[in-house]
Amino acid sequence: MTASCALEVKGLSIKFGNFTAVDNVSFCVNRGEIFGFLGANGAGKTTTIRMLCGLLKPTSGSALVGGLGFEDGGWGIKKIVGYMSQKFTLYNDLTVGENLDFAAGLRKMDPAFAKQRRKELFGLIGFNKPLSSKVSALPGGIKQELALAAAMLHDPEIVFLDEPTSGVAPASRARFWALIRKITGLGKTVIVTTHYMDEAEQCGRIALMRTGSLIALGTPEELKNSAFPGPMVELDFKEAEAFAFISGLKNAAGLLELSPHGIRWHAAFADKALMDAALSALPPGASVALIKPSLEDVFIRMVEGAER
Tell whether residue 45 is a contact of ligand ATP (CB under 6 A): yes
Answer with the entry of Mg ion, ligand ATP, none that 26 interacts with (C-beta below 5 to 8 A by kind). none
Q: Which is nearer to ligand ATP, 39 or 231 (CB)?
A: 39
Q: How far is 126 from 180, CA to CA, in rounded Å?
A: 13
Instruction: Give the number of residues in contact with ligand ATP, rule: CB under 6 A.
Output: 12
Shortest distance (Å) from residue 154 CB to ligand ATP:
24
Is residue 25 within 8 Å of residue 12, measured between CB atoms?
yes
Beta-carbon contacts of 21 under 8 Å, excluding residues fewer than 6 positions away, are: 14, 15, 44, 47, 212
Tell whether residue 42 is a contact of ligand ATP (CB under 6 A): yes
Is residue 70 within 8 Å of residue 63, measured between CB atoms?
yes
Answer with the entry of Mg ion, ligand ATP, none that 88 interacts with (C-beta below 5 to 8 A by kind). none
Give CA 208 to chain center in angstroms.
Answer: 9
Tell whether residue 143 is a contact of ligand ATP (CB under 6 A): no
Q: How far is 117 from 154, CA to CA, in rounded Å?
A: 8
Q: Which of 9, 38, 43, 90 binds ligand ATP (CB under 6 A)?
A: 43
Print the binding letters for residues 13-32 with ligand ATP: x by CB under 6 A, - otherwise: ---x--x-x-----------
Q: How far is 192 from 29, CA to CA, in rounded Å?
A: 12
Q: Which of 36, 44, 220, 231 binds ligand ATP (CB under 6 A)?
A: 44
Span from 44-52, 122-130, 220-228, 264-272 in contact with ligand ATP (CB under 6 A): 44-52
Is residue 43 within 8 Å of residue 121, measured between CB atoms?
no
Beta-carbon contacts of 106 under 8 Å, excluding residues fewer than 6 positions away, are: none
Site residues (vs ligand ATP, CB under 6 A) = 16, 19, 21, 39, 41-47, 86
Q: Using CB under 5 A as the criterion, which residues of the chain lie in contact with Mg ion when the complex forms?
A: 45-46, 86
